[in-house]
Amino acid sequence: TPAPQHPSTLGPSERLLILAGRTSQALARLYFDVAPLIAHDPRIAVAYALIPGSRFEPGAPVFARRVGIDLHPWDTAKVLRPNLIVTSSPDPCLYEAGAPVLSLPHGAGHNRLRAELSGVSGLSPEQILGPQGQVPSFLALPGPAAAKRLAIDCPTATGNAEVIGDLCLDRLRRSAHLREDYRRAFGVGPDRRLVVISSSWDRSALTRKSTTLPEQLLGELPMDEFKLAFVPHPNDEVGEAPHPVESLRPYVDNGLIMIPPEEGWRALVLAADCLIGDHGSVTFTAAAMGVPVLLASFGFAGMPPDVPLARFGRIAPRFEPNAPAAPQIRAAIEAGPVGFDFADALAEPEPGAPFLLAEAVYRLIGLDALELVEPEPLPLPAPVPEHRDTRAWRCRTRPTTAGAAWERRPASVPEPGEGHLAADVTCRDGRLRSAANVLVRHRGTVDPAMARQTLRAMLEAHPVCTVASARVGAGEVMIAVRDGTVLRVGARPAQLDLIPSAVYERLAEQGSDAPGLSAAETLVYLQRRFEPGPAFITAEDAA
């Protein structure tokens, strides 16, 4: 990002823009959605400024360092005599620079009440009016509901207000065709349903009401049907509490998807099959995009009853944390999007929010636009570096007319649970590997000539383990049992992680006095447990 330039260094056709925000999420809106609209124009220099006064202010410099921008204190930026200030955190101090002010929201509309404000946040006179009653030169509103609210809270600003839609929603719609790409980036296959948990930050937020919901659902939802992601609010990074990723480290290390706080949540929204949330902007935006939503909490007390968010909260289906989660999620997905008219809150006027905002910027700085650039689709996301796929799970079966129904659930902590514990040898938690009844080495293949030695080493290093398995081909595993039996099984790739568990269950059924497993008997048993059954099974020389 170019350093701010003094007016004496700018040519007659050049302009200085200051993008000013108070928190990390306010700066994120400016950095990801506003700055790219004028980045192609060499006549416009851009600087970022931090507006003081928020208790979440410490998160803003952290965001700036992550994305690589210079963030200047307001007292430094205001003396540069900029040509325009664009803000997602309206504040009277912005008029101190003597430049036009363009204000836009950094969330999904204007809905929240704060004790120190006479109206809703973002439209209150205490925020948008200057010391001498100045009003923003352009007030970008996301929908008609905001215009109606502005007329109530600060009627003197209505003359410069315009409904342009929502930059975030616009970019989501322009990126929706990449849904399958985003799902692949998160490791979500066509046979999985991605469930996203999202929380706001105040006392009524989901994570304040259901403090362990991510951990609870990760251990409860069947891992072969669901993948789970968690999006905490950026404000949760600020303060004395452990960072969300660190506090959930065992779960992030065993399948829980989390994304970097500066960006990635929008790709999760597009990839999601269902979202469990609260009154936060992520929940409202996801519902507007047609994602089935369940509310685990909702802060009605913090908003007027007639705003769109409150109306949405009254009709959206609820999630009950104390009831089984999977049936609730399946029912929500089957029911589809929440039946709510979002146009009042998040309008979509032509030619779109980015173009309407860019036109306002050029008009206020007195330049003809070189061209109006369509926003790029959202980039492919990456989870936080700490994330790993599920490497330890509890497995159980129940007989059915077609054989058996298998259910695996992530086991992120070494606590007793239903079924037996299985783990991949790459699981980083040694406690889980040591407690596992079944150990597998299925990530990559082992040379069949070395497989016996590998399996013996796995059993020797893990005394609790009864069954060890190594992949020896695309559709083959070699299994060693502690009693010395070695089997080679060919089956469909999707069944390979379950075959060792079936062998373990067969041993458990036989009891300690059984002579062991034979290839023929085990093949019959596995064919009853799988549909279709394994292609072949042979006994290997254990020596």
Residue 479 falls inside a structural domain: yes
Residue 375 falls inside a structural domain: no
For position 8, what pLDDT does the model report? 46
pLDDT band for 521, please (50, 70, 90 cuts).
Answer: confident
For position 456, what pLDDT does the model report? 95
Residue 522 pLDDT > 90: no
What spatial distance separates the first Cα and last Cα of the chain, rounded to whole Å? 66
For residues 489, 493, 497, 500, the Cα torsion angle rounded to the nearest 10 degrees is: -10
Residues in CB range of 378: below 8 A, 6 or more apart: 171, 172, 175, 178, 182, 266, 267, 270
For position 10, what pLDDT does the model report? 60
- Alpha-carbon distance 167 to 181, whole Å? 22
End of a domain among 340, 357, 380?
A: 340
- Alpha-carbon distance 197 to 297, whole Å? 12
Q: Phi and psi at residue 113, in whole multiples of 5°? A: -105, 145
Q: Phi and psi at residue 141, in whole multiples of 5°? A: -110, 140
The CA distances from residue 171 to 161, 181, 182, in Å, are 22, 16, 14
- Alpha-carbon distance 528 to 238, whole Å? 54
- Per-residue pLDDT of 281-294, as tens digits, reads 999 999 999 999 99
In this prediction, residues 506-530 reach a mean pLDDT of 75
240 & 260 share domain: yes
Helix (H, G, I), strand (E, B) or coil at 479: strand
519 & 483 share domain: yes
Residue 385 falls inside a structural domain: no
- Alpha-carbon distance 18 to 80, whole Å? 9
Among 499, 496, 504, 500, which Cα is nearest to 473's? 496
Whether the Cβ atoms of residue 236 and residue 207 lie closer than 8 Å to each other: yes
12 & 129 share domain: yes
pLDDT band for 7, please (50, 70, 90 cuts).
Answer: very low
Helix and strand element counts for the chain (H, E): 20, 19
Q: Say which DSSP state 373 is in.
A: P
What's the domain range around 102? Answer: 7-168+348-365
Whether the Cβ atoms of residue 248 and residue 268 lie closer than 8 Å to each other: no
Residue 109 pLDDT > 70: yes
278 & 412 share domain: no
Q: Taking all residues of the chain, what is their mean pLDDT, rounded to a whole number? A: 90
Q: Phi and psi at residue 17, in whole multiples of 5°? A: -110, 135
Give burial (CB, 10 Å; 0-12/13-18/19+) of 164.
buried
Residues in CB range of 352: below 8 A, 6 or more apart: 165, 170
Residue 275 falls inside a structural domain: yes
Measured from the Cβ of residue 331, the count of other Cβ atoms closer than 10 Å reads: 13
pLDDT band for 76, please (50, 70, 90 cuts).
Answer: very high
For position 516, what pLDDT does the model report? 64
- Per-residue pLDDT of 226-243, as tens digits, reads 999 999 988 776 665 567
For position 402, what pLDDT does the model report? 62
Whether the Cβ atoms of residue 24 and residue 50 lie closer than 8 Å to each other: no
Pairing mode of beta strands 467-473, 476-481: antiparallel
3-state helix, strand, coil in the chain (%, to 5): 35, 20, 45
* Tally of domains within the chain: 3
For position 414, what pLDDT does the model report? 85
Residue 435 falls inside a structural domain: yes
- Alpha-carbon distance 325 to 308, whole Å? 28
61 & 195 share domain: no
For position 2, what pLDDT does the model report? 42
| Residue whose token pair is 């007989």 | 399
% of the chain with per-residue pLDDT over 70: 93
75 & 193 share domain: no
In this prediction, residues 436-446 reach a mean pLDDT of 95
Instruction: Provide the CATH number for the domain around residue 82.
Output: 3.40.50.2000
197 & 154 share domain: no
Long-range CB contact pairs, 316-320, < 8 A, 24+? 316/287, 316/340, 317/293, 318/294, 319/276, 319/294, 319/295
CA gyration radius, the chain:
28
Among 89, 87, 67, which Cα is nearest to 22's? 89
In this prediction, residues 383-399 reach a mean pLDDT of 91
pTM of the shown model: 0.92
% of the chain with per-residue pLDDT over 90: 72
290 & 413 share domain: no
pLDDT band for 13, please (50, 70, 90 cuts).
Answer: low
Residue 6 pLDDT > 60: no
Whether the Cβ atoms of residue 387 and residue 256 lie closer than 8 Å to each other: yes
245 & 200 share domain: yes
11 & 39 share domain: yes
For position 506, what pLDDT does the model report? 87
pLDDT band for 401, please (50, 70, 90 cuts).
Answer: low
**What type of residue is 256?**
L
pLDDT band for 510, please (50, 70, 90 cuts).
Answer: confident
Residue 519 pLDDT > 50: yes
20 & 153 share domain: yes
Residue 377 falls inside a structural domain: no
Residue 464 falls inside a structural domain: yes
- Per-residue pLDDT of 93-108, as tens digits, reads 999 999 999 999 988 8
Whether the Cβ atoms of residue 412 and residue 399 lie closer than 8 Å to each other: no
Give burial (CB, 10 Å; 0-12/13-18/19+) of 98.
exposed
- Alpha-carbon distance 193 to 334, whole Å? 12
- Per-residue pLDDT of 336-357, as tens digits, reads 999 999 999 999 999 999 999 9
In this prediction, residues 109-138 reach a mean pLDDT of 91
- Alpha-carbon distance 264 to 262, whole Å? 7
Whether the Cβ atoms of residue 183 and residue 194 lie closer than 8 Å to each other: yes
91 & 236 share domain: no
Could you tell me the two tokens for 115?
């004790």
For position 240, what pLDDT does the model report? 55
Residue 149 pLDDT > 50: yes
Pairing mode of beta strands 193-198, 226-231: parallel
Residue 401 falls inside a structural domain: yes
Q: Say which DSSP state 301 is in.
A: G
Give burial (CB, 10 Å; 0-12/13-18/19+) of 444.
exposed
**What type of residue is 403?**
G
